[in-house]
Amino acid sequence: MTTTIAAQAAEHLPNRRRRTLFWIGAAAAVVLGVVVAGTLSADAAQTTALADRNLGPSAAHPFGTDWLGRDVLARALAGLRLSLLVGTSAALISAAIAVVLACAAVVFGGVVDRIVSWLVDAFLALPHLVLLILLAFALGGGTHAVVIAVAVTHWPTLTRVLRGQARQVMASDYVAVARGLGRSSWAIASTHLARHVLGHVVVGTVLLFPHAILHEAALSFLGLGVDPAEPSIGVLLAESMRYLTAGAWWLALLPGLCLLIVVKLVDTIGENARALVDPRSVHL
Amino acid sequence: MSPVRVISAVGGRVLRLALLLATVAVASFVLMVNSPVDPVSAYVGADVAVIGPEQRALIAERWGLDDPPLERFGAWLGNLLQGDLGHSLTFNQPVTEVIAQRFLTSLALMSAAWLLSGLIGFALGVLAGVQRGRAADRVVTWWAYTLASAPTFWVGLLLLYVFSVWLGWTPVCCAVPVGVTADEVGLLDRIHHLLLPAVTLSIVGVAPVVLHTRHAVVEALESDYVAFARAQGESTAGVVLHRVLRNAAAPALLLQFSSWGELFGGSVLAEQVFSYPGLGAATTAAALGQDVPLLLGIALFTTVFVFVGNAIGDLVHAQVDPRIRRVGASWRSRGRATAEEVA
């Protein structure tokens, strides 16, 4: 319903650029709303009401209740807030690592470039989930271990992309001209390299987000992630498994659907931002 | 192909794999040594409260836990090179045996899912590419993007609810019926148990194949040679069959082979949902049971697994798309004239 209204509003906007910006704004507003709602429902997520156990969705509990009578909607919102926090920190830290490594590889070249490529290969050598399990285990488990594990493993692909982009810029004619005119490496890096790569960094960071969120949920689902007492979407879904055979479908369907929607929203932001930064990518 | 080239090519690959394995081994060993998990309590388990400090010291001494890390690494590496990965406490079996048995079980699941996602993904990708901009394309693309955002285990839970709980068509858990001896289990039973986990695992792998194939099909359809074929009166079906499919197959195959890591990651989750006793479930069990030797073994094994996938992908890609060969490393180039030599 709201989507159709938003789509109609978007149709009236004068051009595609405005429309893209509108979608970015709308998606960002919903994501922010989820964070606020998740913060407000933190208490409700832990309130048990043993009289209202395993109720299906109703007006009082739109998402139903779990086996301790806790409101699943409140728990899902609190879980989404945690997902978004993990996603934000992971995306920012991974993007920072990727930028530093990609710039170092391109600016210093030679041995440094090889070391960076080798690091990327080494991090991609294992299945990502196995790497996450190893790291979370080595860090002793719990919420902080997951946040760190997810944050320090999402940079390799972005590093590759940025390194490629930066090399392209450095090989271009205008950089050669700037060099010929005697501009310093620093001046070339800040006027030419940074401006070109910045857009890709922003888009890359936003698109890291969904991966990070899904990996956090996966680890928590396996029982290797956040503290089981904390409401996280992964924990909620792991708990739902025990009651699925008894027919409590709402425990699995609705929180997972919320996660899917939030991931899609963030993806929408990223893809629309990519359309702004790199318009050619839209016409494929 | 001259024998020298083959040897240097294979040698280069093996050397790369050895370097990667060494990196993974050192890195994971460092991680495990610095882990706050106490190996003695992990070994003793629930009885940890019963044993005294003397017994604790004895266990630590027997395992050389008080030796400096470098010495322990040397000992572990020595055993490793002899093919001894240690003993898994969770399964009470040598690690190599656990991995071999479990991997065979997982292999059935992963290969079924891999084939399904490859075939369905390729078919849908071609459909979307040919119908570009029309309803079919929009539906397929939207569906692929949505699947890419969906958590594997959630899709699995929904399928489990619909088909096993609600409709009752498929079993709720495990790889074989409960309470039946191994030799009584028929092939049909195994397939019946495999169905839902394989579908779950394939659904998640479909999205990238669809999107990449669509891209390749669109690119091929816009090429000069397709325009030329059309001008000569070739029908759309003929164009797709003779000129587009092979071009689209190359990236799809490369992607399918290089996705073995994702496939394994997905199987960890799918096996957890369906209680399927494969290597993925063993990985979870090892981490939950603080079974360090098994975790290290799985880390090394999956490194080889991913590497082999990538290597096969490169070979197959070069086989399907001859243009790759001239830029590839020497091991890829064949005896016949390459495009470069002809030009």
The answer to whether the CB of A24 falls within 8 A of the CB of A273 is: yes
* Interface contact flag, B36 A136, Cβ < 8 Å: no
Residues B153 and B32 in one domain: no
What sign for the dihedral angle of Cα A248, A252, A253, A255?
positive
Rounded Cα distance, B51 and B41, in Å? 10
Say if residue B173 is in the same domain as residue B251.
yes
How many CB pairs below 8 A link A and B?
Answer: 138
Does the residue B89 lie in any domain?
Answer: no
User: B87 in a domain, yes or no?
Assistant: no
Nearest CB to B272 within list A140, A210, A222: A222
Task: Identify the residue among B149, B200, B211 best suited for mutation to test binding to A, counting A beta carbons within 10 A and taking the highest.
Answer: B149
Based on the domain organization, do B16 and B107 belong to the same domain? no
Ordered alpha helix ranges (H), chain B: 3-33, 39-44, 53-62, 69-81, 95-130, 135-149, 152-159, 187-221, 224-231, 236-239, 245-258, 260-274, 279-288, 292-320, 323-327, 339-342
pLDDT of B341: 32
User: What CA–CA distance (Å, rounded) separates B20 from B276?
Assistant: 30
The answer, for A127 touching chain B at a CB cutoff of 8 Å, is yes
Structure tokens at B294: 């098994």
Dihedral angle of Cα B294, B299, B301, B304, to the nearest 10 degrees: -170
- Residues of A within 8 A of B295 (CB-CB) are 133-134, 137
For residue A159, what are the CA distances in angstroms to A98, A166, A177, B343?
Answer: 4, 10, 27, 36
Please check whether residues B43 and B106 belong to one and the same domain: no
Same domain (yes/no): B214, B280: yes
Q: Of B33, B59, B81, at which residue does a domain stop? A: B81
Instruction: Determine the Cα–Cα distance for residues A163 and A155; give it in Å rounded to an integer.
Output: 12
What is residue A89's three-state secondary structure?
helix
Q: How close B151 comes to chain A (CA, Å)?
A: 6
Cα-Cα-Cα-Cα dihedral of B228, B234, B240, B245, to 10°?
-60
Nearest chain A CA: its distance from B57 CA (Å): 23
B interface test, pick of A137, A144, A262 with most B CB neighbours within 10 Å: A137
- Residue in the block written with tokens 């429902």: A41
A259:B154 CB<8 A:
yes
Asked, for residue B147, whether it belongs to a domain, the answer is: yes
| Residue B234, Cβ density class (10 Å: 0-12 exposed, 13-18 middle, ≥19 buried) | middle
* A236 chain-B contacts, CB cut-off 8 A: none
Q: pLDDT of B221-251, one tens digit each?
A: 888 988 898 898 888 888 888 888 888 888 8
Across the interface, whether the CB atoms of A222 and B303 are under 8 A apart is answered no
- Chain A residues with CB under 8 Å of B161 CB are 244, 249, 252-253
Closest Cα partner for A218 from A132, A139, A148, A122? A132
DSSP per-residue string spanning B243-277: IIHHHHHHHHHHHHHHTHHHHHHHHHHHHHHHT--
Report ipTM for this prediction.
0.83
How far, in Å, CA of B250 to CA of B65, rounded?
A: 51
Min Cα–Cα distance to chain A from B238, Å: 23
Judge whether B211 lies within some domain: yes
To the nearest whole Å, the CA of B99 is away from the closest chain A CA by 14
Name the residue of chain A whose CA is nearest to B294's CA: A134
* Chain A residues close to B20, C-beta within 8 Å: 121-122, 125
Boundaries of domain holding B60: 3-81
Who among A134, A241, A264 is closest to B149 (CB)?
A264
Please give the tally of structural domains in chain B. 2
- Domain co-membership, B99 together with B77: no
- Do B252 and B224 share a structural domain? yes
Instruction: Identify the pLDDT of residue B330.
Output: 40
Q: Do residue B157 and residue A122 have CB atoms under 8 angstroms apart? A: no
- For residue B86, being part of any structural domain is answered with no
pLDDT per position in chain B (343 positions), as tens?
A: 567 777 887 888 888 888 888 888 888 888 887 777 676 766 666 666 667 777 777 777 766 666 777 777 888 888 888 878 888 878 888 888 999 999 998 998 999 999 999 999 999 999 999 988 889 999 999 988 888 888 888 988 888 888 887 887 777 777 666 666 666 667 777 788 888 889 989 987 898 899 889 989 998 888 898 889 889 888 888 888 888 888 888 888 988 998 999 999 999 999 988 888 889 999 999 888 888 889 889 999 999 999 999 999 988 888 887 776 654 444 333 333 333 333 3
Q: Which fold has domain A2-47+69-283?
A: MetI-like fold (1.10.3720)
User: A212 is written with which tokens?
Assistant: 């990070």
Chain A: give the shortest CA distance to residue B335, in Å. Answer: 30
Question: In this structure, are B74 and B122 located in the same domain?
Answer: no
One domain for residues B250 and B137: yes
B41 with B164, same domain: the answer is no
Q: What is the pLDDT of residues B39-60, one digit of tens each?
A: 676 666 666 666 777 777 777 7
B151 shares its domain with B43: no
Looking at residue B229, which CATH number applies to its domain? 1.10.3720.10
Indicate the residue of A133, A249, A256 with minimum beta-carbon distance to B283.
Answer: A133
Q: For residue range A211-243, what is the model confidence (pLDDT) as tens digits?
A: 899 999 999 999 888 877 788 888 888 888 888
CB B85 within 8 A of CB B78: no
| Torsion sign over Cα A167, A169, A174, A180 | negative
CA-angle at A98, arms to A217 and A133, nearest 5°: 30
- The tokens for B72 are 């322990």
Quote the CA–CA distance of B165 and B154 in Å, as a whole number.
Answer: 15
β-pair partners for B87? B94
> Shortest Cα distance from B148 to chain A (angstroms)?
9
Residue B149 has its nearest CB partner, among A124, A134, A267, at A267
B138 shares its domain with B8: no
Q: Tell the residue number behind the tokens 């934000």, with chain if given.
A: A88
